[in-house]
């Protein structure tokens, strides 16, 4: 009876703690409130900026802010048109360029806190390339991928505790095997696949946002080809990576392009 109750409690917790991702409509686990995530994002953003050197290249900084503001408006427009404005009410948008040519990266914290590193600017090449990255990173925040990963970690931790309780009457060998294999199975079977799915989901959402902002989403293919050329060698197999292989990513982008282009209205 105890085992049935434990399993029932876990099932109820996971079933009731779900939300829906904007644009894609995917159901996701949500055990952490958006307010908590926005607060954490703001703290981490301030800490990162305090430990970093901001770029003094006015042309590049202005470009990041200009593209960011246009995509911000597109996101807010999409959310308003779909009755989802409440999901971005706590966002206080900010766009900064960090001076570091060795880091080819950008990210967006929950709450709309965006940072680009100067190392990714040459790969972006122009406003369209920056829009590809900007839309993708903002999409992670809009889809609450950080909150979902945190929720998954909490659920998996709970699952491990429940598993240990359910196996408490089994042999020490069985308990040891579970303690060894459960974290590996969780990592390979849950965490990594979800991370790759998050990347692909952010790709599609980001393309829609950049298209609504007036940037040509078809340029995303050339951007990811440039990114692939810059990151050859030393990558783990796709099934052990948090990111999808570039070829698989580009194929997904090509497949989504007819839908995405319906949102594209070039800015004159």
pLDDT mean over 116-123: 96
* Domain boundaries of the chain, sorted by first residue: 19-148+192-261
pLDDT confidence of residue 150 = 82
CA pair distance 139, 210, nearest whole angstrom: 10
Write the pLDDT tens digit of every residue in 194-233.
Answer: 578 899 999 999 999 999 999 999 999 999 999 888 865 5
Task: Please name the residues in contact with 13: beta carbons below 8 A apart, sequence gap of 6 or more.
Answer: 31, 155, 158
- Which tens digit of pLDDT belongs to each residue from 76-98? 999 999 999 999 989 999 999 99
The model's pTM is 0.79
pLDDT of residue 242: 62
43-89 pLDDT, tens digit each: 999 999 999 999 999 999 999 999 999 999 999 999 999 999 999 98
Structure tokens at 211: 């298209």
pLDDT at 17: 58
Q: Per residue in 134-151, pLDDT tens?
A: 999 999 999 999 888 888
């Amino acid at each position: 009876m105890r085992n049935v109750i434990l399993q029932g409690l876990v099932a109820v917790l996971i079933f009731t703690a779900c939300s829906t991702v904007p644009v894609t409509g995917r159901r996701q686990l949500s055990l952490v409130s958006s307010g908590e995530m926005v607060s954490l994002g703001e703290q981490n953003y301030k800490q990162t900026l305090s430990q970093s050197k901001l770029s003094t290249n006015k042309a590049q900084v202005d470009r990041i802010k200009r593209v960011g503001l246009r995509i911000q408006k597109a996101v807010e427009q999409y959310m308003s048109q779909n009755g989802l404005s409440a999901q971005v009410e706590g966002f206080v948008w900010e766009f900064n360029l960090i001076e570091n040519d060795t880091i080819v990266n950008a990210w967006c914290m929950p709450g709309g806190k965006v940072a680009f590193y100067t190392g990714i600017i040459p790969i972006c090449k122009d406003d369209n390339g920056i829009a590809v990255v900007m839309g993708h990173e903002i999409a992670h925040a809009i889809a609450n991928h950080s909150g979902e990963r945190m929720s998954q970690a909490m659920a998996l931790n709970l699952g491990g505790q429940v598993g240990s309780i359910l196996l408490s009457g089994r042999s020490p060998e069985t308990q040891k095997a579970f303690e060894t294999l459960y974290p590996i199975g969780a990592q390979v079977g849950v965490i990594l696949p979800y991370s790759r799915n998050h990347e692909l989901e952010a790709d599609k959402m980001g393309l829609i946002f950049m298209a609504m902002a007036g940037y040509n989403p078809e340029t995303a293919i050339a951007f990811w080809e440039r990114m692939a050329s810059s990151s050859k060698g030393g990558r783990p197999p796709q099934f052990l990576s948090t990111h999808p292989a570039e070829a698989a990513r580009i194929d997904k982008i090509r497949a989504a392009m007819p839908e995405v282009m319906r949102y594209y209205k070039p800015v004159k």
